[in-house]
Amino acid sequence: MTNHIAAGAVSFSDSKLMDAMDGLDDAREAGRSTLVSRNITVLGRRTSVRLEPEMWGALRDIAKRERCRIHDVCSLIQLRKNPNTSLTAAIRVFLMLYYRAATTEQGHVRAGHGDFNTMMTRAQATPDALHMRKRGRNGVNGGASHMSSIKPAQTPSFHSMQGL
């Protein structure tokens, strides 16, 4: 499998993507968290997990597809995760790996992936806005990573989740 940005693993219609981005903007401007806290049972013990609504939706979809409960999926993740990784972080990685394992090049083409300008248009971002973020608020590099410094990671196998 070639390395692709994980966002390509889930295709959104333009309107769904724009609604999600608008919701993030609204929450940021209002100073409130976009996380939703829910109680789940992991390996027979009740715990709470805070995830974005989109992550909860993905977890629900996976449980439905796999014909099990969210609790079962999270218990499996707990069994396989690295002890130094939080359950919440391991769930996010699992979701990305699950959908990434299902991606195909044809699916990326159907979703309109492969052209960063199209991605910027969908996000309603301008090149100037992107460069302002990189420099920071005062015009000086604020420590943000540059796209050219991103190195593609090897795609971990969904079936070998050890180390999540």
Distance (Å, whole) CA 58 – CA 99: 9
Same domain, 97 and 62: yes
Whole-model pTM over 0.75: no
Same domain, 43 and 56: yes
Residuewise pLDDT in 10s, the chain (164 residues): 333 333 333 334 455 555 666 666 665 666 678 999 999 999 999 999 999 999 999 999 999 999 999 999 999 999 999 999 999 999 999 999 999 999 999 999 998 899 998 888 888 888 888 887 555 555 444 444 444 333 334 334 444 455 55
- Report the pLDDT value the prediction gives residue 11, as an integer from 0 to 100: 37
Q: Is residue 154 part of a domain?
A: no
The amino acid occupying position 115 is D
Counts of helices then strands in the chain (DSSP H, E): 7, 2
Q: Is residue 141 part of a domain?
A: no
- Report the pLDDT value the prediction gives residue 89, as an integer from 0 to 100: 98
Residue that terminates a domain, selected from 54, 79, 103: 103
Distance (Å, whole) CA 18 – CA 22: 6
- Report the pLDDT value the prediction gives residue 127, as an integer from 0 to 100: 85
Q: Strands 36-42, 45-51: parallel, antiparallel or unpaired by DSSP?
A: antiparallel
- Please provide the size of the chain in residues: 164
Same domain, 72 and 126: no
Output DSSP code: residue 115: -
Distance (Å, whole) CA 119 – CA 77: 31
Domain that holds residue 84: 35-103
